[in-house]
Amino acid sequence: NSSESHNCAKSILTSDRLQIVVTLSEFFNETWEAANCANCLKNGSEGLSNSTVEFLDLFNKSLTCFEHNLQGQASYLSPNNYTEVCKNCNETYRILNDLYNNLQRMNRQGGESGHSAHLCIDVEDAMNITRKLWSRTFNCSVPCSDTVPVIAVSSFILFLPIVFYLSSFLHSKQKKRILILPKRIQSNASLVNIQEKYS
């Protein structure tokens, strides 16, 4: 009835005591916001963004590579030895990891979706799964390229005090200390007598 002051939809949604429709609507809206789902979509929300599609494609390729190499070595290697997975899937994993880092950097600046926040939960969960498989399950580790320079600089800094004290010792002239005794006024009886005279 249009003559009534309150909204028809509102009266239908809040007609029951629990207001179940309103509660569910709020729950889904909060979940959508908390999961940053809009960050996986294009600006008009007409579909997945190009970067999300590219990431999910690489994620599927990585999982396929893991599975393929596990099947290949299952017959002759122990379950704890995943060298084939680490060797053959290293390039795929590295590209996926680089893309994820770029997406994070782009997303801080607004990204394709126009929302500046975390990446959407689908992308973050996919990367978390891949990193856990790579590091914990397969125990693959990428050697750090900065190790040698860090060790060299640390050794140089630790060696500096030794060089300083050694050069200081070698270049300084060791002089023998000659003790010079100060001359003291000898107190004799005559001085005491002179003082008593004048007092």
Cβ neighbors of 63 (< 8 A, separation 6 or more) are 130
Residue 4 pLDDT class (50, 70, 90 cuts): low
Question: How many Cβ atoms are within 10 Å of 132's Cβ, its own excluded?
Answer: 11
Separation of alpha carbons 134 and 84, rounded Å:
12
Q: What pLDDT shows up at residue 196?
A: 59
Summarize the confidence of residues 70-90 as an average pLDDT. Answer: 72
Tell me the whole-structure pTM to 2 decimals.
0.60
Residue type, 47: G
34-77 per-position pLDDT tens digit: 998 888 888 867 889 999 999 999 999 999 999 998 875 554 54
Q: Please say if the pLDDT value at position 123 is more than 60.
A: yes
Q: Please say if the pLDDT value at position 110 is more than 70.
A: no
Q: What pLDDT shows up at residue 10?
A: 72
> Which range in 58-62, 106-110, 182-186 is most confidently predicted, on average pLDDT?
58-62
- Residues of the chain above pLDDT 70, percent: 70
7-43 per-position pLDDT tens digit: 776 777 777 777 888 888 899 999 999 998 888 888 8
- Distances from the Cα of 10 to the Cαs of 6, 19, 26, 88, in angstroms? 7, 10, 14, 59
Domains of the chain, residue spans:
1-35, 41-137
Q: DSSP 3-state helix, strand, coil percentages of the chain (rounded to 5)?
A: 65, 0, 35
Helices (H), 14-120: 20-34, 50-73, 83-88, 90-108
Q: What pLDDT shows up at residue 174?
A: 58
Q: Please say if the pLDDT value at position 5 is more than 60.
A: no
